[in-house]
A and B are shown apart, each in its own frame.
Chain A
Amino acid sequence: MWNKREDEPLRPSAPTPVAATPQPPQPPVVAAAPERREPAAAGAGAAGIGPSITIVGDVSGEEDLTILGKVEGKIVLPKHSVTIGHGGRVKADIQAKFVSVAGEVHGNLVAGEQIVIRKTATMLGNLTAPRVGLEDGCRFRGSVEMEAPRQGTASSGAPAQPAAKPEPAPVRS
């Protein structure tokens, strides 16, 4: 009675942007899914490297890319998204607009907008992007360099102030 979403049968209420493969309605189902829907995968023109595919060499192009297989080399898609799905294994530096990692990556990532490291990811390398998201539980070793937020937007980023008078007395052992 109170939770209409559970009572009502799932129905496609709005047309989905991807015409070729209609997606089921997202709400409660997607919220509970372990891996969130990636912007790259949502794009109509996304290319994919399947689980059985191995590519050795450089990858570049003008569309979003989803990797579920293995890639060794270099990936350059500065205007598009690169998604390394769960099971995907990449040994390469990646340059893209948006990078999402749920699989395994050995290499440095540079993104124009955002990098997201999912909790299932193993990421060894350096991350450079204006926004970097790391889910708790992910395996990550490397450095993170983010652009500094604008002045006054983050209280935590306020300039250092003189130390307050210590409350607990220092102890000597």
Chain B
Amino acid sequence: MSWFSKETIAPALRAAPAGHRSLALRALLDGLHPERRPAVLDLGPPLAGNIKFLSGLSCRVRVADLHRSMCAEPLESRRADTMPALLERLLPLEPDEQFDAVLAWDAFDYMRVDQVKPLMARLAPRLRSSAQVFVLVSMQAQIPAVPLRHRILDRDHITSEKPGRDDDHDVMRPGPRYRQADLGKMMPTLSVRRCYLLRSGIKEYLLG
């Protein structure tokens, strides 16, 4: 039996889930306590697998589908001064609703700083003291024209895939390449707890 025989490699390949390992997600999930029925805000699109996974942790999940919702709105309503009103409409919250975690994914890569600031200003009073925010920021000069779909495979792994064939997913656009200082401006009430640079050129941030 050689080192590279099918018998040696195949079981290892079968055991390893596809996608990349996400230490920041792992840390976020470790911070959720199922016995408290945590509330999670997912700014990404509705994905059945993610909701099922989080429901398995006794989470209540609010799906915002922010990028698609914002794109459906006229440009003038997405200005910095009109963003608060827009967010009230696109992200309606229960009067006493609070969150233990926010999954922002790569949504901020598709927003300006002056758009993220009112979003986080709206969310800041809704975050519990132990709440954590998971953010992916691309360091690439070019990013896909629309956000990727991030699926949670297990506690440690995520896949990031381009949207379905309906979208023109080969189109790229300049990436903002936000740095940690930019995140600080967007979310002045939060600080970076963890930061990992992935081989794909994406930085994972966990803020809290």
Residues of A bordering B, CB below 8 Å: 117, 132-146, 148-149, 154-157, 159-164, 166-168, 170-173
Nearest to B62 among chain A residues (CB) is A143
CA–CA, A130 and B129, complex, Å: 30
Q: Secondary structure of the A side of the interface? A: loop
A140 close to B180 (CB less than 8 A): no
CA–CA, A145 and B97, complex, Å: 14
Residues of A within 8 A of B145 (CB): none
Name 15 interchain pairs, CB-CB below 8 A, sorted by A. Answer: A117-B46, A132-B48, A139-B68, A142-B63, A143-B63, A144-B51, A146-B51, A146-B55, A148-B34, A156-B56, A160-B30, A160-B34, A171-B195, A173-B179, A173-B203
Residues of B bordering A, CB below 8 Å: 21, 23, 26-27, 29-34, 46-48, 51-53, 55-58, 60-65, 68-69, 90-91, 149, 154-156, 164, 166, 179-181, 194-198, 203
Residues of B within 8 A of A139 (CB): 46, 65, 68
B180 close to A173 (CB less than 8 A): yes
Supplied contacts A166-B23, A171-B203, 6 more A-B pairs, CB within 8 Å: A136-B47, A136-B149, A141-B64, A142-B62, A144-B51, A146-B55
Residues of A within 8 A of B27 (CB): 163
B26 close to A163 (CB less than 8 A): yes
Residues of A within 8 A of B149 (CB): 136
Nearest first, the 8 A-B pairs at minimum CB distance are: A157-B56, A146-B55, A140-B46, A143-B62, A173-B180, A134-B48, A154-B56, A156-B56
A136 close to B34 (CB less than 8 A): no
Residues of B within 8 A of A141 (CB): 63-65, 69, 90-91
Partner of B30, one of A145, A162, A168, A171: A162
Residues of B within 8 A of A143 (CB): 60-63
Residues of B within 8 A of A163 (CB): 23, 26-27, 30
Interface centre among B61, B91, B179 (most CB of A within 10 A): B61
CA–CA, A149 and B180, complex, Å: 38
CA–CA, A115 and B68, complex, Å: 23
| Shortest CB distance A114–B (Å) | 13
Residues of A within 8 A of B198 (CB): 168
Residues of A within 8 A of B26 (CB): 163-164
CA–CA, A167 and B108, complex, Å: 26
B180 close to A172 (CB less than 8 A): yes
Partner of A159, one of B34, B48, B156: B34
B60 close to A145 (CB less than 8 A): yes
B58 close to A148 (CB less than 8 A): yes
Residues of A within 8 A of B23 (CB): 163, 166-168
Residues of B within 8 A of A167 (CB): 21, 23
CA–CA, A7 and B138, complex, Å: 52
| Shortest CB distance B177–A (Å) | 10
A148 close to B56 (CB less than 8 A): yes
Residues of A within 8 A of B53 (CB): 156
| Shortest CB distance B176–A (Å) | 14
| Shortest CB distance A38–B (Å) | 18
A170 close to B194 (CB less than 8 A): yes
Residues of A within 8 A of B166 (CB): 137
Partner of A173, one of B51, B63, B64, B195: B195
